[in-house]
Amino acid sequence: MSRLKTLVRNERGVPPLRGGHSLCQGCGVPLVVRTVLDTIASPVVVVNATGCLEVATTRYPTTAWNVPWLHVAFENAAAVASGVETAQRALRRRHALPADEDVAVVVFAGDGGTYDIGLQALSGALERGHRFLFVCYDNEAYMNTGVQRSGATPFGASTTTSPAGSESWGKAQQRKDMTAIAVAHHVPYVAQAAATHWHDLSVKVERAVAADGPAFLNVLTDCPVGWGHEPRLFKQVLDTAVDCRYWPLYEVVDGDYRLTYTPAQPVPVADWLALQSRFAHLLRPENAAVVADIQAQVEREWDELVGRCGEV
């Protein structure tokens, strides 16, 4: 049966995240949330870090969540999830839970709440081996507070705290390889995914929740406001990010790397940059060398990744 039909059936007519929230027109986050939660057949508890998703879906007295949901603060979603997961184990052992089926503990955090302020709590939770799924919806900046740069912002992107100007190319630093940081914790399952490759993401979610330990998914997704494009171009922008090999799709299962998608015809990074006004300054003729550097880096990192995957 088509995977999408499975996702529809798993909802049982009740979407985990329903309409009425105040995420932007064309926000790329709900696609990630619904793909993840609709893939998981068991009941779930969601722990959400402060950020766009949390703020826009839970303005009291409304809520867009049809599943149990906790928000505590910005940097501690992984720690809160550790507590929920431990509580389940403790209560299960003491035969004090209302139902027999284990509840999946799922964290949603933006790149700020994962790469930067959330890094410590995530690292601790991964090291302790809690059985939970941490999903970073990575839209590459602190979008909720007005598009400020994060550790996930790519080199050269213009944000409100790393704006392009006569003296600046935008963000001067490379972004962190958060997926590699997660892999370095020796957890059973880590993967990099993209929102518009929802099928690939859904398969990864299945593997993640089946893992006997922590699972980390780094999912690139769109922010039309922060990235600077018409909301309706979501699919085109994300697909180009993947097809230019800027954002490879792969998984690491018990330390073994595997590519899950190879673009049939890789496109130049410049094609992706051209779709977003946050990179408009890079496309000026005087910055051609910068774009060439970015292209070279993307190719270098792709080759390294393919080498780790051990396949051609």
Partner 1 sequence: MTGLQLLTGGEAVAHAMRQIDPDVVPVYPITPQTPIIQGFAKFVADGRAGTEIVNVESEHSAMSAAIGAALAGARTMTATSSQGLALMAEVVYIAASMRAPIVMAVGNRALSGPINIHCDHSDSMLVRDSGVVQLFAENAQEAYDLTLLAPRLAEHPDVLLPVLVCQDGFTITHSAEPVELLPDDVARRFVGEYRIPHAALDVARPTTQGPFAMPDYYYEFRRQQGAAIEGAAAVLADLAEELEALTGRRLGALEDYRLDGAETALVALGSTAGTVKDVVDELRAEGDEVGLLKLISFRPFPAAAVAAALEDVESVVVLDRADSPGGAPPLRAEVAAALYGSGCRLDGSVYGLGGRDLHPADVRALLAGTVPTHVGLRGPACHA
Partner 2 sequence: MGELTSWTDLPAGGAVSPAGAPRTATGGWRTGERPETDLSRCVNCLLCWIYCPDSAITLDGETFTGVDLEYCKGCGICAEVCPEDAIAMVAE
- x/- mask, partner 2, residues 222-241, rule CB under 8 A, reads --------xxxxxxx-----
What is the contact mask toward partner 1 in residues 115 to 154, using x (rule: CB under 8 A)? Answer: -----xx-xx--xx--------------------------
108 binds partner 2 (CB under 8 A): no
Q: Which residues pair with 219 in a beta bridge?
A: 137, 193
Q: Shortest distance, CB of residue 68 to partner 2, whole angstroms?
A: 10
* H or E element that contains 294: helix 288-309
CA gap 55, 181 in Å, rounded: 27
35 binds partner 2 (CB under 8 A): yes
In angstroms, rounded to a whole number, what is the distance separating the alpha carbons of residues 80 and 71?
A: 9
- The answer to whether 46 contacts partner 2 (rule: CB under 8 A) is no
Judged by beta carbon distances under 5 to 8 A according to partner kind, the member of partner 2, partner 1, none in contact with residue 9 is partner 2
Q: Which pair of structure tokens corresponds to residue 148?
A: 């400020």
We find the least distance from the C-beta atom of residue 34 to partner 2, in angstroms, to be: 6
Dihedral sign for Cα atoms in the order 40, 29, 126, 79: negative
The CA-based angle 130-135-139, given to 5 degrees, is: 150
CB closer to partner 2, 38 vs 111: 38
Cα–Cα distance for residue pair 257/109, rounded to 1 Å: 24
Backbone dihedral angles phi then psi of residue 255, each to the nearest 5 degrees: 90, -10
Of the pair 46, 244, the CB lying nearest partner 1 is at: 46
Interface pattern 158-197 for partner 2 (x via CB under 8 A): ----------------------------------------
| 173 neighbors 161 (Cβ within 8 angstroms) | no
Instruction: Examine residue 15 and tell whether it contacts partner 2 (CB under 8 A).
Output: yes
CB of 236 to partner 2, least distance (A): 8
CA distance 107 to 40: 13
Name the DSSP letter for residue 16.
S
Distance CA 191, CA 249 (A): 8
Contact 20, 64 (CB under 8 A): yes
Q: Give the one residue of 66, 120, 168, 174 binding partner 2; rule: CB under 8 A.
A: 66
Of partner 2, partner 1, none, which one sits near residue 84, judging by CB under 5 to 8 A according to partner kind? partner 1
Whole-angstrom distance between the N-terminal and C-terminal Cα of the chain? 31
Binding residues for partner 1 (CB under 8 A): 43-45, 47, 54-55, 58-61, 63, 65-73, 75-76, 79-91, 93-94, 96-99, 103, 120-121, 123-124, 127-128
Binding residues for partner 2 (CB under 8 A): 2, 4-5, 7-9, 15, 17-31, 34-35, 58, 60-66, 198, 230-236
